[in-house]
Structure 1
Amino acid sequence: MTLRLAINGYGRIGRCFLRALQESPFRERYRVVAINEPADLASIEYLTRFDSTHGRFPGVVETDGDALIIDGQRILVSHADTPEAVDWAAQGIDLVVECSGRYGTREELQRFLDAGCPRVLLSHPGTSAEDVDATVVYGINHEALTGAERIISNASCTTNAVVPVLDLLDRAYGVDQAMLTTIHSVMNDQPLIDGYHHTDLRRTRSAMQSIIPVATGLARGVERLLPRLTGRVQAKAIRVPTLNVSAIELAVTVHQPVSADAVNQLLADAAHRHHQSRLAYTEQVHASIDFNHDPHSAVIDGGQTRVCGAHLLSLLVWFDNEWGFASRMVDVLHHWHQCWPTANGLNSLQETPQ
């Protein structure tokens, strides 16, 4: 049985999710059958086929009437401005992947359920923890999903990158305080040249000419996933003029004395255990472009690990803010689906016991 998916909002993450699903081992189990995106179909086809960051689509992309055709599979495309304007039930949608970023409160997200979508997977944290049934960082708390959830969030790309590292450090050494600085590639809420468009005055400035500090909710995101660190985490973010791949400069004071070698060994061992999903470790000499299209949530750069005294630790964590995050959405989708109840008590993708 193939799960029928819809994507609402076919921008950077929506298109990356479709590609990540296409390149995943689960591609035969989940099928995108609908896309809702205000843009015209010709632009949707073109931006699916060609991507300045991730290259050509690894398949055949065509159109037919009001549909996008991927390797012969028909995806019905609508251009509605609201969830209610799409007949999701008539298309047999099992889950909508909400990538528009326009809906964050419980009331707003409930509109998808009321319009015929049985479940919603968010590509952003939601307005608050109470607005979703669960906020999931794969590898940290995905196993807590029961299948009874209707709306879950995949958190943010930065939360997915830093939470696994903070969790490891806290369990091993005890985190007293953490200061996180995200060095993030440009995003589509920034103009190429100065222009009136945003209440954050810094974001009216040219994205490609300046390093621009912006507001971030990363500290709240960390505390939502690791409540034991509440009150001990602060964060700031800086946008830099690169298209993709970001980094987090992580400064932590720890309770137990540490050395750079011991910390690197801890992180390298963890990366070895989780190399297929959330963590990777390297001591090679890298620049950010080397991690373009990297599927990991975080790549620890062991060559940049520093310890001052015995309790102040600094780490550099790379992450592809598009591809790594979209890859985790696929992982969370797959795990969540394994938890769903079925009429006979078995998940439809699980083998029937002999």
Structure 2
Amino acid sequence: MQAVRIAINGYGRIGRCVLRAIYERQLEQELEVVAINEPADLETMAYLTQFDSTHGVFPGKVGRSENSLLINGKAIQVFHHTQPDAVDWQALDIDILLECSGAYSQRSELEKFIQAGCPRVLVSQPTDSANEVDYTVVLGINDTELNGQQSIVSNASCTTNAIIPVLAELDAAYGVDYAFLTTLHSVMNDQPMIDGYHHSDLRRTRSAMQSMVPVATGLARGVERLLPQLQGRVQAKAIRVPILNVSAIDLMVKLRRSTTKEEINSLFIQAAQRHPNTLSYSDRPHASIDFNHDAHSAIIDGSQTCTNQDGLVNLFVWFDNEWGFANRMIDISQLWASRFQSQST
């Protein structure tokens, strides 16, 4: 596969993790980051690339020139615009734009990137409606339909990437009647450090580091969009918890037949062997910090699996909501490139 020219729009938690993961996985010759658009100043961008409170010091040399971020001596052109069409993307000759700002969820907004010269946009969040993008993809679930004709694709969310493979395995093996999901999600930057006039949702005006805070979630919609056979059978809620990174999903499902803890754990041990890049399994006594910088979409904690005679199953799923999702952005970029490059030859 020839080198894919990548640009990143939005250089926050996910944007920086994407860049870092490309270099940690030594993919910089395959995925060439040629440009970053980020409103913040270049000095701060370089500093936060090199020093990260969650993932540690960047394992390479970081510098800057007048208008570029330098990674191991390679110059990445930097822009500081706030509008999708303010950058001349066409002049950069990119193949895929990774939209990592989280600011755009409407097709009318995302199409401005296309109109400004981006041939393809991979969005780092789900959209309210499936019609806002050409396709929503989760690696290992529906990636076979990703093709060169699509121009705006959503990589769904970190929670969707974590739970969809788990539900798909359960549904294929037993049939899922109902599912209830509770996400315990690490704090995000839409929450204040101390109480303040920060959000229309009054819960989000409260200090992120002093309380567990219930928040709204569209996870149930995302699950039903990707697993339509579960339409009307999924409910979800989310609680932000005061840790910097790594989240979990407490999953309660009603299966169509009874099973045992041993059978369920065996199912996911085998699933992790079939999908080693996205699924993992452990039954060791874990705390969340154990999964910081873990690139899997989901890690099944077999020590927490519970069942009863009525087909009720309770599973606990860990995931690094930053690093795991950033790695899926990279994987989908590679897969998408292989499809459109093969179609152009």
Give the TM-score range, shorter chain.
Answer: over 0.9
In the alignment, what sits opposite 2:37?
A: 36
Aligned AA for 1:321? Answer: N
In the alignment, what sits opposite 2:145?
A: 144
Equivalences for residues 111-190 of structure 1 within 5 A: 111-190=112-191
Following superposition, the deviation at residue 126 of structure 1 comes to 2.2
Aligned AA for 1:183? Answer: L
In the alignment, what sits opposite 1:221?
A: 222
For residues 301 and 120 of structure 1, what CA distance do their matches in structure 2 show? 34
For residues 32 and 128 of structure 2, what CA distance do their matches in structure 1 show? 28
Equivalences for residues 302-317 of structure 1 within 5 A: 302-317=302-317
1:41-84 Cα distance to aligned partner (Å, 9 max, x none) = 11100000000000011111000111100011111111001021
In the alignment, what sits opposite 1:19?
A: 20
For residues 74 and 127 of structure 1, what CA distance do their matches in structure 2 show? 36
SS in 1 for 2:63: strand
Is residue 327 of structure 2 the alignment partner of residue 331 of structure 1? no
Following superposition, the deviation at residue 274 of structure 1 comes to 1.1
Aligned AA for 2:334? Answer: H
For residues 203 and 39 of structure 1, what CA distance do their matches in structure 2 show? 24
Judge conservation of contact 1:5–1:93 (CA < 8 Å) in 2.
yes
In the alignment, what sits opposite 1:273?
A: 274
1:199-252 Cα distance to aligned partner (Å, 9 max, x none) = 010000000000100000000010111011010000000000000000000000
In the alignment, what sits opposite 1:92?
A: 93
For residues 332 and 317 of structure 2, what CA distance do their matches in structure 1 show? 22
Aligned AA for 2:285? Answer: V
For residues 245 and 3 of structure 2, what CA distance do their matches in structure 1 show? 32
In the alignment, what sits opposite 1:202?
A: 203
For residues 146 and 26 of structure 2, what CA distance do their matches in structure 1 show? 21
In the alignment, what sits opposite 1:76?
A: 77
In the alignment, what sits opposite 1:256?
A: 257
For residues 128 and 100 of structure 2, what CA distance do their matches in structure 1 show? 14
What do you get for the CA RMSD once the two structures are aligned? Answer: 1.0
Aligned AA for 2:326? Answer: A
Gaps of 5+ in 2: none
For residues 335 and 84 of structure 1, what CA distance do their matches in structure 2 show? 26
Judge conservation of contact 2:281–2:299 (CA < 8 Å) in 1.
yes
1:231-288 Cα distance to aligned partner (Å, 9 max, x none) = 000000000000000000000000011111000000111011111x110000111100
Gaps of 5+ in 1: 347-354
Following superposition, the deviation at residue 309 of structure 1 comes to 2.4
SS in 1 for 2:181: strand
Equivalences for residues 232-247 of structure 1 within 5 A: 232-247=233-248
For residues 92 and 109 of structure 2, what CA distance do their matches in structure 1 show? 21
For residues 255 and 74 of structure 2, what CA distance do their matches in structure 1 show? 52
Following superposition, the deviation at residue 147 of structure 1 comes to 1.6
In the alignment, what sits opposite 2:301?
A: 301
Judge conservation of contact 2:159–2:219 (CA < 8 Å) in 1.
yes
Following superposition, the deviation at residue 341 of structure 1 comes to 4.4
For residues 28 and 250 of structure 2, what CA distance do their matches in structure 1 show? 35
SS in 2 for 1:242: coil
Higher deviation after alignment, 123-132 or 315-324: 123-132
1:272-313 Cα distance to aligned partner (Å, 9 max, x none) = 1111x1100001111000000000000000000001223110
Following superposition, the deviation at residue 25 of structure 1 comes to 4.8
Higher deviation after alignment, 154-163 or 16-25: 16-25
In the alignment, what sits opposite 2:319?
A: 319
Higher deviation after alignment, 296-305 or 79-88: 79-88
In the alignment, what sits opposite 1:350?
A: none
For residues 129 and 122 of structure 2, what CA distance do their matches in structure 1 show? 15
In the superposition, the TM-score normalised over structure 1's length comes to 0.95
Aligned length: 344
Aligned AA for 1:104? Answer: S
Aligned AA for 1:76? Answer: Q
1:3-30 Cα distance to aligned partner (Å, 9 max, x none) = 2111000000000111111122533111
Judge conservation of contact 1:259–1:310 (CA < 8 Å) in 2.
no
1:192/1:342 CA distance change after superposition, 3 Å: same
SS in 1 for 2:321: coil
Judge conservation of contact 1:248–1:316 (CA < 8 Å) in 2.
yes
Following superposition, the deviation at residue 127 of structure 1 comes to 3.0
1:171-224 Cα distance to aligned partner (Å, 9 max, x none) = 111100000000000000000000001001000000000010000000001011
In the alignment, what sits opposite 2:56?
A: 55
For residues 250 and 32 of structure 1, what CA distance do their matches in structure 2 show? 37
In the alignment, what sits opposite 2:109?
A: 108
For residues 234 and 46 of structure 2, what CA distance do their matches in structure 1 show? 42
SS in 2 for 1:84: coil
SS in 1 for 2:45: helix
For residues 187 and 219 of structure 1, what CA distance do their matches in structure 2 show? 20
For residues 269 and 146 of structure 1, what CA distance do their matches in structure 2 show? 29
In the alignment, what sits opposite 1:287?
A: 287
SS in 2 for 1:321: coil
SS in 1 for 2:56: coil
Aligned AA for 2:195? Answer: D
